[in-house]
Each structure stands twice: as C-alpha cells, then as structure tokens.
Amino acid sequence: MGDAPTASGSKMPAVALGAVFGLAAGLALLGTGAGPASLFSTPTATATTPTAVPLATFPGRSMAGAGPLYGSPVASSGFGGAGRPSADVQPVLMTTAAQGAQTSPSLHWAALAALSAAAFAIGTFLGRRPTHPATLPVPEQQQPQTLQEIAIAAYTSQHNYDYDLIVIGAGSGGVRASRISAGHGAKVALLEPSMAHGPPNYSAVGGTCVNVGCVPKKLMVYGSEYSHDFEDARAYGWDVPTGITHNWTRLMENKNKEISRLNGIYKNMLVNSGVNLLEGWGSLVDTHTVAVRSSRDSPEPDSTITAEKILIAVGGWPFIPDIPGKEHCISSNEAFYLPECPKRIVVVGGGYIATEFSCIFRGYGAQVTQMYRGSMFLNGFDDDLRTHLCGEMQAQGIEIMFNTNPAKIEKQADGSLLVTTEAGEQVPCDVCMYATGRKPYTRGLGLDKVGVEVNPKSGAIMVDEYSKTSVDGIYCVGDATNRINLTPVALHEGHCFADTEYGGMNRKPDHENVAAAVFSNPPLGTVGITEAEAAASYDRVAVFKSGFRPMVHTLTGSSTRVVMKLIVDVATDKVLGVHMCGPEAAEILQGMAVAVKMGATKHDFDSTIGIHPSAAEEFVTMRSPSYFIVKGEKMDKLP
C-alpha cells in the first residue's frame, strides 16, 4: 500500500541502469582527459540565454520548524501557518546555447550525465508500487538514511506490514503523532472520515479544535465582544450610532471560509510530511489490521491495511442525555452552523463549553438562560473566580438557574421549544443547546474485538504513562483517553508517542501544571492548583488576592472588575497556583504558566519589575497575604 519504495529493492533496476550510464560517462571522461569541472564550464564565444530550472524537491522527513536539519526543503510551520521555502532552496540557472552556436565537447558529457539521471528517474517511476485507492497524493519518501530508519524499514518488510504506523483520527493528537513519526522515518497512514468540515460529520482534518471547537469558538467570541466595545467606545469620544445590527450570515460565511482554509493547510502539511492521508472510517480487525470504510455503518469494509503499531486518536463527541424531546436539541457541533442567531436560547450544562456559549450568544443579543444541575458551575476552577464570573455574567443579563435539570423538551406549534425542568418550571426558547459533556468517540471502533480495556463508566480508553493500551502494539492519545481534554495536551501526548516509538527517546507526557482558560466574558485563566486543592495537600498556605476595576473602565463607568490570586506554599515559598478572571486572562496566564512550571517562588514574583500601567503587573506587586490556611483552617495570620 502507498507509493513509498519498500526495503525489498523495488528501485534496483533503476539503480543498475543509472550505474551503467554513469560508468560509461566516467570512462569517456578518462579517455579524453576531461575533468569534472569541464562539465560545468561555460563555452567561450557562445551566446547563451539564462533559463531558470528549479531544483527537484522532495518532502523529506522534517519535523516542525526543523528545516533542512531533518532533510526537508520546506520549513514547516505550526498551527495556522503554511510551509515556506527554506533559504537553501534556490533556482539553479543553467545556460542553453543559442540556435546555430557551436558547443564544446564537455557539454556532450553533461548531456550524457543528464541521460543517466533521466534513466534513474524513469526506473524509479516504473518501480513504484500502486497506491491505495482512497489515498490522497503523497510524495515519494526518501530511502532510509539513518540506522534507525533502516531498522524500521527492515522490520516492516520482514513482517510484511503495509505501514509502520496506522493512526485513526486526524485531530490534534493524531496529526501531531503522524507528522513527527514520519519525520523520524516511519511509514505512516492516517485515517480521517472527512476532508472538509460541516454536516453531517462536522469534524474533519484538524479534528474538533479546528472544525467544531477552539478555532471557530474563539472567532465567535471575538465577534460577540464587539457589542460591549461599541458601548464602551462612546466614553472615549466615539460617536457610535444607536441601533447597530449584526449580520449572522456574514459571520458564518467568513468563519466557514477560515475553517476550510485550515483544512487545506492541514492536508498539505501532512502530505508534505510524507504521511499517507486516507479518507475513511477506521475500525480494528486485529492487533495489526484496520478496516477502512467509506461510511461508518457500512457492513463490509472497502479495504484493509496493516501496520506494526496502531494509534487511536478519535477524540471525543458531544453527549446529550436520553430525555424526552432530545431530538429537538442541538450540541456545540450544530451551534457552529445555526442559520441565524436565536432570539432565545437555553444552554444546559455547567462546564466551560456551556459557559462560553452562554456568553457568546448573549454578546450577539440573544436572551440566554443557562441551566446547571449543581450549585455552582465550572467545577475544578478556583471557587473565588467562578463565583466572580457568575456575578459578571448575571450583570450582563444572563439568567443562570443552578440546581436545575430539564425533564423534557417540547416543540410548540410555532416552531419554538418549551423546556420543562424537573421542578416543574417552564422556559420557552427558540433553541435548546446541550453542553453536558463529551464522551470518547469510540463507537464502531472494534475495541472489544481486540480486547482494548476501557473505563466502564466513562468509556475512556485506558492507557499507561506512555499512552499504551492494554493490548500490545495499540496506543491512544487525546480526548479518547479522558486524561486532560485540551488541544495542547493532545498535541503533547502525540509528540511524546512519536518521539518514544520512532525517535529513540523516552518521553512520557507531563500532565502537571497544565494551564487552561475559559473564554467567557470576562475570560478566566488558571495554572497550578486551586486554593481548595492546596488546603487539602499542604499544611500552611498563603493566599494573595486582589480585586480591582481595570483602567479601561475608569471612563466607561462599567462595574466590571478583575480578580487575581496567587496560592503559595509557606514552607517553600513556591507558587502553587495562579488564577485570574478578567480581560486578557488567557494571554496573561500563558506567561505565568512558564513561571509555575519552572518552580518560581513568591520571592521571584516580588523581585520582578512590572509593566505599568497594566493589569498583569498586579501579579508582581501583591506583597501581603490576604489570609492563610493552616491545616485546612482559614486565618488572618500564621500562629
């Protein structure tokens, strides 16, 4: 399968043919006394016309940003970027004699050398193997160069596998693992059901993040914030007309264009990395075989492919509980493709997705009701921050119903919906969106057929610290493992897998001190542990807390405030957690994450000169603890 040469010698006829012509050219050169330099000498008294002939370029096995060091003529870029020619790829200028001009004998030898190269290329082309019928065009891989690449190729040939690695799922973790593994010399096939975003599959190359997650969500967050900015601008002298309207259709069109652009970038990046990108649904047949189907529910596969190792990277999928009227509800997938912004929407859930969409739709003018079965949303985040965010959202007009669970959803004669809660309350709306969690997208994957162990409650695939499942040769990264369901974590896990299995390294994913953000309004950012977690694990904790009105709102009259917290271990002075709710929280916390990861102390923060005027400087100017927690008990000073 695929068009890469095997280790069995499919290029040998080409090599032999090239060698014959090369030997003939060398003997002729020795007989005439012509040296190698004369082959490239310019004939005297000959009119020439420069003609640009580009160098032949091949994909090599480059790592992102590695450039020529890993043999690639294209300097790869990360997310959202495109490959660009590296500095050492330049056109070669060759000269062609004008019509009727005489040429020197050395040019005949150059022509003979060119024939030798052409024969080599023809032989190579004839020796290529047929491609998989569902394969996107993949440039031919180079022959193994390093000892490790040679060993990988020999092992694959010995066991007669089609590939070294099959990856199921072209999301964040799958794409990263595929590309880096190919960069280490592995022959990789990557399966993805769809190459373009949108219904009915919704996700496509790039996974949830690119198609129905981080990227389109953040674009919609940006757009929703303008409604607040227009109001604030008046305080700064801008004559903003009243009655400004929003064009939802234009937003969706522009958003869709951007996602399509990213789909194309991902496909090109994978192909240029030497990954064999296949369109289809993958399911396990045995520990080395994957069935490929054009439709998920097809009874018979269109084809099968084999590999020494299989990596599952199928991600997660929105979950809507089985209640009466669930067919009238949407998930976050459909929310990205609504034909118009609803006038009234009920958002069910208390996680970051539900909270973010409540703020998004409110920003576009919708009447929003958020229902959550618990007493406070955003479990796992610092209590002070989520309580503060709740107040900010309510001040914007978002109704939040805690300790509330829908019992049924009914469609009305006019097409609207009526949500009835378990307590009997009724809330009319135009759209009911469920954001009550996501589950590993493993239906039809065949895990039970090969014995891959899953968590009976969550459905998550069980893995060890190297992302190995319970079955030898089968691995899993990303949201399907339910470790930390964040895009950067899936990228990290995929990279560690590739480096460990094909790069000769020993890398375990590090899930400690992973920063996170909620793109609500205002946003929330966090890294490290919360106050409650610190109180449960450390004997003495110092809490530094600050709340203030950001400078931008000193003229607008807005009551919006920023909350910041530092959690410090008194015994070591180490900063255990940094938390913020306020404008640009995610941007500020990314820098704080580096400090926490490096083990910064409160003294390090105090020794840092702040940027003034900025909100971020508050983190390095909080000098006195707001309070202490000693053996779980809160007090104003240490005993």
Residues 95-131: tens digit of each pLDDT: 333 334 344 444 444 444 444 444 444 444 443 333 3
pLDDT of residue 149: 61
497 and 358 in a common domain:
no
Residue found by looking up tokens 């020794």 in the block: 607
482 pLDDT tier (thresholds 50, 70, 90) = confident
pLDDT digits (tens, 9 = 90+) for 346-366: 999 999 999 999 999 999 999
| Inside any domain, residue 547 | yes
- Residue 45: other Cβ atoms inside 10 A: 6
Q: What is the pLDDT of residues 293-331, one digit of tens each?
A: 998 888 899 999 999 999 999 999 999 999 999 999 999
Continuous H helices in 273-401: 332-335, 352-363, 383-395
> Following DSSP, what letter does each residue of 170-193 receive, concatenated?
-SHHHHHHHHHHHHTT--EEEEES
Q: Work out the percent of the chain whose per-residue pLDDT is above 90.
A: 74
Task: Give the pLDDT score at 296.
Answer: 86
Whether residue 545 is found in the same domain as residue 564: yes
Instruction: Kindly state whether residues 449 and 545 are assigned to the same domain.
Output: no
Q: What CATH number is given to the structural domain containing 343?
A: 3.50.50.60
Tell me, what's the pLDDT at 17?
A: 43
Q: How much of the chain exceeds pLDDT 70, in percent?
A: 75
Query: Are 367 and 427 in the same domain?
Result: yes
How many structural domains compose the chain?
4
500/295: higher pLDDT: 500
54 domain residue, yes or no: no
pLDDT per residue as tens digits for the range 577-600 = 999 999 999 999 999 999 999 999
The answer to whether residues 432 and 444 belong to one domain is no
Q: Which of 20-34, 48-62, 236-250 has the highest mean pLDDT?
A: 236-250
pLDDT in tens, 152-174: 665 555 679 999 999 999 999 99
Last residue within a domain, chosen from 436, 459, 479: 436
Residue 243 pLDDT: 87
Is 60 exceeded by the pLDDT of residue 90? no
Residue 11 inside a domain? The answer is yes
Exposure on the CB side of residue 409, measured as CA atoms within 13 A: 25
- CB 22 within 8 Å of CB 28: no
> What is the arithmetic mean of pLDDT over 69-76?
30
How buried is residue 264: exposed, middle or buried, by Cβ count under 10 Å (0-12/13-18/19+)?
A: middle
> pLDDT value at position 299?
87
- At 507-526, the pLDDT tens digits run 999 999 999 999 999 999 99
Domain boundary among 394, 412, 436: 436
Is the same domain home to 470 and 560? no
Q: Is residue 612 flagged as an active site residue?
A: yes
| pLDDT on residue 51 | 34
Give domain status of residue 422, yes or no.
Answer: yes
Q: Are residues 573 and 622 in the same domain?
A: yes
Higher pLDDT, 8 or 261: 261
- Classify residue 166: in a domain, yes or no: yes
Whichever domain contains 573, its CATH number is 3.30.390.30
Please indicate, yes or no, whether residues 545 and 571 belong to a single structural domain of this protein.
yes
Give the tokens for residue 486: 């964040």
* Band (487; pLDDT cuts 50, 70, 90): very high
- Per-residue pLDDT, averaged over 68-76, amounts to 30
465 shares a domain with 336? no
**Predicted pLDDT at 153:** 63
**Rounded to an integer, what distance in angstroms lies between the CA atom of residue 53 and that of residue 55?**
7
pLDDT over 70 at 451, yes or no: yes
- Average pLDDT over all residues of the chain: 83
- At 66, the pLDDT band (50, 70, 90 cuts) reads very low
**pTM exceeds cut of 0.85:** no
Residue 534 clears pLDDT 50, i.e. is over it: yes
Residue 477 pLDDT exceeds 60: yes
pLDDT at 78: 35
Residue 215 has pLDDT above 80, yes or no: yes
| Bridge pairing between strands 188-192 and 276-279 | parallel
Beta-sheet pairing, 426-429 with 289-293: unpaired
Residues 167, 192 share a domain: yes
- Say whether both 305 and 451 belong to one domain: yes
Range of the domain at 331: 326-436
Q: At CB < 8 A and 24+ separation, what contacts does 299-307 make?
A: 302/133, 302/134, 303/132, 303/133, 303/134, 305/1, 305/132, 305/162, 305/163, 305/166, 305/189, 305/278, 306/160, 306/161, 306/162, 306/163, 306/166, 307/161, 307/162, 307/163, 307/164, 307/165, 307/166, 307/189
- Within a domain: 409: yes
pLDDT over 80 (residue 410): yes
Residues 168 and 302 in one domain: yes
Determine, yes or no, domain membership for 511.
no
Whole-number pLDDT of residue 34: 42
239 has a pLDDT exceeding 70: yes
Establish if 74 belongs to a structural domain.
Answer: no
